Amino acid sequence: MELRDFFQEHPKAALAFSGGVDSTYLLRAALDCGADVKPYCVSSAFQPAFEKAEAEALCARMGVELTVLPVDVLSDPAVTANPPDRCYHCKIHILTAIRERAAQDGYTVLLDGSNASDDAGDRPGMRALREFGVLSPLRLCGLTKDEIRRRSREASLPTWDKPAYACLATRVPTGTEITKELLARVEGAETALLGLGYRDFRVRVFHDAARLQLPKAELTRAAGEAEKLRGALAPCFTTVLLDLEGR
């Protein structure tokens, strides 16, 4: 199946939009196929401010209105307790918000940007997608991450080489309570890294320290500017560790 075939069968749908490589390409492809696909983005404590801003800018560039839905994921103890299936409980809140608003707007089919490279096993997030009947056109059409990046580059999408990004909750070890304050510290530290010119990274919480994960190619640079890194992250973490395994 090609994407054009998919959108001929589903000419009107709502899209869970993050502004990442996959959902951006899917939205562009849907528009090119003449489909009526409306993007929805959830704003929660798990999404940094820059991600929402980038999603809005991408939709504006494509001439599409982005609907932003605030969701208080931290109101659910099943999420803040941070169990192994936290992603499932969080996804339920996200998909519920999008489905309800999309239905009000006249959209009954819900899409997401999962691709053929994503593990389709019994992951918590995937389980939520199945329960909500979410369709994943990129996966259904056999499009891998590499192929999506290639097509995105051909389409002149600025996301073609955008590093993969997971929500802030993934920075907190399983079993450690997730609080608004802890997420703000992580977001502050990652914003500081962006300001220093780093693009692909994670700031993971490790016994109240910041454990920096960077691509191996950037470890030498990071080690050479250790004092600069420590100073930039000092407002958020007093101890900064560099993970030598790399991303």
Other beta carbons within 10 angstroms of residue 166's beta carbon come to 11
Long-range Cβ pairs for the range 30-37 (8 Å, 24+): 30/3, 31/62, 31/64, 33/3, 33/4, 33/7, 33/8, 34/7, 35/7, 35/10, 35/11, 36/11, 36/12, 37/7, 37/12, 37/13, 37/111
- Res. 123 pLDDT band, cuts 50 70 90: confident
- Tokens standing for residue 153: 């580059």
pLDDT single digits (tens) 3-27: 999 999 999 999 999 999 999 999 9
Residue 160: exposed, middle, or buried by beta-carbon count in 10 A (0-12, 13-18, 19+)? middle
Total residue count of the chain as it appears in this document: 247
- Res. 165 pLDDT band, cuts 50 70 90: confident
225 pLDDT above the threshold of 80: yes
| Mean pLDDT on 200-221 | 95
> How far lies 162's CA from each of 24, 48, 139, 154, in Å?
11, 16, 19, 14
Which pLDDT score is estimated for 191?
Answer: 94
Give the phi and the psi of residue 138 in degrees, each rounded to 5. -65, -40
Across the chain, mean pLDDT equals: 95
Give the phi and the psi of residue 78 in degrees, each rounded to 5. -70, -20
Q: What percent of the chain has pLDDT over 90?
A: 91
pLDDT single digits (tens) 147-158: 999 999 999 999
How many helices and strands (H and E) does the chain possess?
A: 11, 7
Which of 27-31, 100-104, 217-221 is least confident?
A: 217-221
pLDDT single digits (tens) 96-122: 999 999 999 999 999 999 999 887 666
166 pLDDT above the threshold of 80: yes
